Amino acid sequence: MRRFRRQHLLGTTALIVAAIAALLLHRAFHRTLPDYAFVTGWILFAAMLVLAVYNARKKLPFLPLGNSESWLQIHIYLGFFTVLLFFIHLNFRLPRGWLDISLASLFALVAASGVAGLFLSRILPRRLSTRGGEVIHEQIAPLRHVLKTESEMIALGPAASSPAVAEFYTRRLAPFFAGPKNAWAHLFESRRPVHSLLAELEDLRRTGSEAERGALEKLADLVRRKDGLDYHRALQLTLKLWLFIHVPLTYALLIFTLAHIAIVFAFSGGAQ
């Protein structure tokens, strides 16, 4: 924790100093430096390339390129600084023309998805650790099937003898155990759906026979375990889906940027 705070302090300080320096340089040279837009454009493109390299670094952990945590910190703070570079390159004006507007929109989407990813990667793993420890994503479906089979044996198996439990299972629990449920509720940390289901089980248990109460208590335990698996699936899937949004958008942004560079050089002959 102390190391993280030190990295956060150093990164934030470096970001503030770099931002102030960039703004002062922009104020001093944006009217006087020849080909100022070319200079800021190339600096911006270089920063975007460094940001894109982070994804390649994660796929090549065996290369001696520094540890992943350091790369992540660079990616985060350089990402925020790149947003400022983008506005400096635009001279703090709105883009004009369909390509520039498309490029700016893509940049905004990449930046927004990056900020969202930073938030999710900080919050969701912490929440997952509070709900039964780590569950490997690929094991969730098999574990869910085991719970479904156990619940069917309790409510509908050869040893089951309660029409009331069987009817409740068929009507309320079978759909719950059939697949993932309540993803949005889990994402927003709402326990209302599972509490409602457990309340119905408790109402039935209070009026049931001794044998029915035993079966319903077992079913309630399986419901809680299934809800825990659904919770892990919802949060882990959110983290995975975020990457499927942020990374493709990043590559699309690089392609549009290359097209922008080609068009600028084609019509201006490059920086003279």
Q: Which domain holds residue 12?
A: 2-130+241-268
One domain for residues 143 and 116: no
Angle between helices 137-156 and 210-268 (to 10 degrees): 150
One domain for residues 122 and 246: yes
Say how many domains are in the chain: 2
Tokens of 267: 């019509």
One domain for residues 194 and 222: yes
Q: What is the pLDDT of residue 60?
A: 62
- Find how far residue 12's CA is from the centre of its chain: 22
Q: What is the pLDDT of residue 62?
A: 58
One domain for residues 204 and 246: no
As a whole number of angstroms, the distance between CA 255 and CA 233 comes to 33
One domain for residues 106 and 142: no
One domain for residues 167 and 225: yes
Q: What is the pLDDT of residue 134?
A: 76
One domain for residues 203 and 224: yes
Alpha-carbon torsion angle 152, 155, 157, 163, nearest 10: -140
Sequence length of the chain is: 272
Residue 99's Cβ-side half-sphere holds a number of Cα atoms within 13 Å equal to 10
Q: What is the pLDDT of residue 264?
A: 84
One domain for residues 64 and 26: yes
As a whole number of angstroms, the distance between CA 188 and CA 198 comes to 19
One domain for residues 118 and 173: no
Q: What is the pLDDT of residue 209?
A: 86
The answer for residues whose C-beta is within 8 angstroms of residue 147's C-beta and 6 or more apart is 177, 222, 225, 226, 229
Q: What is the pLDDT of residue 25?
A: 92
Q: What is the pLDDT of residue 59?
A: 64
- Amino acid letter, residue 199: A
Kindly state the helix (H) or strand (E) to which residue 161 belongs, with its residue range: none
Low pLDDT (below 50) residues in the chain: 270-272
One domain for residues 232 and 185: yes
One domain for residues 213 and 245: no
Angle between helices 2-29 and 68-89 (to 10 degrees): 20
One domain for residues 195 and 79: no
Region of 209 (left: φ > 0; alpha: ψ -120 to 50; beta: rest) is: beta
